[in-house]
């Protein structure tokens, strides 16, 4: 694992842009893995600038996003906005190359939002089993929505290219994608129950008044298969999550087992770390900027 510490979010994002540009130049078939949230927005802006100045053209690249809320296409819209609309015409990722797990299901002419899903799950207990927050739909599931969900999550998992640079943020309790505390390190693309703290932290996503308590997410195991995961985090709100990632135990700490993980963080994120912990990190990993 490589840990790079930067004085500001701007510098952190710039370094991310440079690393991604280098990787894309070296391998024309390399794909991207996208993350939503506020953290990568600066990076996406810098990628758009690189396209503007002719350093990069994403029009032939593919991108696979990590997750989507159940009953919404919010992250799909985010993906289109930041990787297509904000790029100079024809230089961003083409619509057909932007992949986001499907969160929109219809049943009896209605969008299945999370309250309807609650009911479906209550009435069809034989169709799935719970493993922590993971809702694992069984091969013989009978309810059409659950059946389709299983089919879609399997297909998404299968389509993920190994040769991808996976951009990651981190939730305050250490989730990557929507792999909440209690998710197996080996999980694959699945339906998950969101933690209350996630629903709270992401409240601004539910301006339409319809809060969702479920999401579809790539699993930790799916993320671990990417050739290069780069996790970005900045600010004191992320200190605890980053501590778990680097030293403790949270869903993101699985990334310590990946030989090529890059962690890009700002100095303030490490502000509250004990000096013994920082020494441990210096001894164990390649650390720059600390």
Q: What's the min distance (Å) between Cβ of 86 and ligand GLP? A: 17
Tell me the C-alpha distance between 200 and 202, whole Å: 5
Is 288 an interacting residue with respect to ligand GLP (CB under 6 A)? no
DSSP character at residue 195: P
Other Cβ atoms less than 10 A from the Cβ of 285: the count is 14
Q: Which stretch binds ligand GLP (CB under 6 A): 26-34, 35-43, 119-127, 151-159?
A: 35-43
Q: What's the min distance (Å) between Cβ of 75 and ligand GLP? A: 8
| CA 270 from centre of chain | 22
Is 74 an interacting residue with respect to ligand GLP (CB under 6 A)? no
Is 36 an interacting residue with respect to ligand GLP (CB under 6 A)? yes
3-class SS shares of the chain: helix, strand, coil, % to 5: 40, 20, 40
Residue 231 near residue 176 (C-beta atoms within 8 A): yes
Answer for which of 67, 127, 134, 180 binds ligand GLP (CB under 6 A) is: 67
Is 39 an interacting residue with respect to ligand GLP (CB under 6 A)? yes
Answer for which of 19, 37, 157, 173 binds ligand GLP (CB under 6 A) is: 37
Tell me the C-alpha distance between 242 and 253, whole Å: 9
Is 178 an interacting residue with respect to ligand GLP (CB under 6 A)? yes
Residue 36 near residue 79 (C-beta atoms within 8 A): yes
Q: What's the min distance (Å) between Cβ of 65 and ligand GLP? A: 9
Query: Which tokens is 173 given?
Result: 């309790």
| CA 193 from centre of chain | 16
Q: What's the min distance (Å) between Cβ of 41 and ligand GLP? A: 8
Give residues 198-227 in contact with ligand GLP (rule: CB under 6 A): 198, 202
- The binding site for ligand GLP (CB under 6 A) comprises 35-39, 66-67, 169-171, 177-178, 198, 202
């Amino acid at each position: 694992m490589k840990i790079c510490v930067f004085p500001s979010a701007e510098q952190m994002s710039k370094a991310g842009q440079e690393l991604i540009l280098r990787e894309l130049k070296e391998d024309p078939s390399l794909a991207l893995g996208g993350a939503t949230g506020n953290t990568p927005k600066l990076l996406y802006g810098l990628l758009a600038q690189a396209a503007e100045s002719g350093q990069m053209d994403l029009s032939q690249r593919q991108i696979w996003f990590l997750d989507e809320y159940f009953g919404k296409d919010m992250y799909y819209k985010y993906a289109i906005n930041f990787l297509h609309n904000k790029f100079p015409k024809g230089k961003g990722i083409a619509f057909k190359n932007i992949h986001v797990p499907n969160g929109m299901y219809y049943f009896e002419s209605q969008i299945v939002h999370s309250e309807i899903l609650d009911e479906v799950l209550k009435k069809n207990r034989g169709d799935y089993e719970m493993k922590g927050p993971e809702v694992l739909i069984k091969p013989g599931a009978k309810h059409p929505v659950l059946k389709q969900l299983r089919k879609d999550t399997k297909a998404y998992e299968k389509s993920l290219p190994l040769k991808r640079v996976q951009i990651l943020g981190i939730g305050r309790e250490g989730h990557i994608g929507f792999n909440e505390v209690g998710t197996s390190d080996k999980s694959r693309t699945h339906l998950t129950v969101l933690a209350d703290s996630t629903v709270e932290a992401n409240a601004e996503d539910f301006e339409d008044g319809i809060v969702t308590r479920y999401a579809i997410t790539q699993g930790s195991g799916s993320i671990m298969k990417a050739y290069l995961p780069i996790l970005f985090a900045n600010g004191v709100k992320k200190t605890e999550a980053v501590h778990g990632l680097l030293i403790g135990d949270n869903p993101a700490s699985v990334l310590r087992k990946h030989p090529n993980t890059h962690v890009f963080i700002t100095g303030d994120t490490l502000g509250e770390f004990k000096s013994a912990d920082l020494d441990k990190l210096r001894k164990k990993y390649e650390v720059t900027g600390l």
